[in-house]
Amino acid sequence: MTADGLFLGVDGGGTKTEFVCVDAAGKVVARAITGTTYHLQVGHAVVVERLQEGIGTVCRDLGITPAGIEFGFFGLPAFGEDADADIVLEQACGRLLGHDRYACGNDVVCGWAGSLGCEDGINIVAGTGSIGYGEHQGRTARAGGWGEVFGDEGSAYWIAVQGLGLFSRMSDGRAPREAFYDRMRVALAFEQDLDLCQRVMGPPAMPRGDIAGLAKLVSEAAHDGERGAQAILAGAADELAALAFAVRKQLDYPEGVPAQISWSGGVLLQEHLVRDAFLARLAESGAFEPVEPRFPPAQGAALNARRLADIRRTG
């Protein structure tokens, strides 16, 4: 296969990284998955190794070298938040491809491009972390995505942290005990409740993805009608709705003109209690037009590569 009509998209994430290649018609012709490319978690060297692995797998499957990729888009976690790291990662992508037909951006762009098919509008991501991104008449904007230490509200990590806090309050009597208390003890195999501190903060500290995985315990408790867990999920919906309103305001949508809005990430795709409440909050305003996600983020990254190639050709 030649360089004409093959577009690589890379959707980096806090848990995994997906590589998708599409042809000129947008059909998926190859894909691969590697581990997280969140450089704050695994370091630059590991990120580069995983990018090399994914690109290599896609190229072998297609019977090409990286030179056979017409254009690539790399959506990487935390890109745009550290200028020094951005330079390192952007240069590494160029070395791996062996040409300059590529662009790098934050992985939030992948969710927007996939969910809305690269059309104007807003996408809210709620996976391990959370962030909102949109494009409108040539303008771009993002909100959230400040990281797990003081941000990522509404994400799986945030839900899990709220759940850990709820457990601590149930343990010492600041909140009434519900079945969630026992779920946590069983899941983390405590001998005593204060073991939670060592289990999460270490050493060794619990990895970010493992903490985010505890969100499923909150979800299970909420579906069983437990009030504390339901309040956490309701709070997550409020936080994600706030991202949508913030992005809309930055994009300067005229009053009375609804913005297309879609969503991606496990929390909004899989947890209907959060998604339904999120959409209900947006519906109250009349400022949004919900759009079911059209494509997954990795395919969106590839479609964005095709779009950027068109822009580059037409100048």
CATH fold, domain 119-293, is: Nucleotidyltransferase; domain 5 (3.30.420)
Taking Cα atoms as reference points, which of 309, 311, 251, 303 lies closest to residue 118? 303
- Distant-in-sequence contacts of 57-66, Cβ < 8 A, 24+ apart: 57/19, 57/32, 58/8, 58/19, 58/21, 58/30, 58/31, 58/32, 61/30, 61/32, 62/1, 62/6, 62/21, 62/29, 62/30, 63/1, 64/1, 64/6, 65/98, 66/96, 66/97, 66/98, 66/99
Q: What's the pLDDT at 2?
A: 43
Q: Is the pLDDT of residue 1 over 90?
A: no
Mean pLDDT on 5-19: 93
pLDDT band, very low/low/confident/very high, at 13 (cuts 50, 70, 90): confident
Q: Give the mean pLDDT of the chain.
A: 95
Q: Letter for the amino acid at 189?
A: A
Residue 139 region by backbone torsions, left for phi larger than 0, else alpha for psi between -120 and 50, else beta: beta
**Burial of 87 from C-beta contacts in 10 A (0-12 / 13-18 / 19+):** exposed
Per-residue pLDDT tens digits for 223-255: 999 999 999 999 999 999 999 999 999 999 999
Q: What's the pLDDT at 85?
A: 95
Q: Say if domain 6-117+295-314 classifies as CATH 3.30.420.40.
A: yes
Q: What's the pLDDT at 4?
A: 63
Mean pLDDT on 266-284: 97
In this prediction the pTM is 0.90
Per-residue pLDDT tens digits for 41-67: 899 999 999 999 999 999 999 999 999
> Sign (positive/negative) of CA torsion 101, 107, 113, 119?
negative
Mean pLDDT on 71-95: 95
In the DSSP assignment, the letter for residue 263 is E
Residue 150 burial (CB count, 10 A): 7
Mean pLDDT on 87-93: 97
Per-domain residue ranges of the chain: 6-117+295-314, 119-293
Q: What's the pLDDT at 12?
A: 94
Q: What's the pLDDT at 41?
A: 86
- When mean pLDDT is compared across 206-210, 299-303, 305-309, the lowest value belongs to 206-210
Per-residue pLDDT tens digits for 132-186: 999 999 999 999 999 889 999 999 999 999 999 999 999 999 999 999 999 999 9
Q: Is the pLDDT of residue 3 over 60?
A: no
Identical topology for domains 6-117+295-314 and 119-293: yes
Q: What percent of the chain has pLDDT over 90?
A: 91
The SS3 assignment for 20 reads: strand
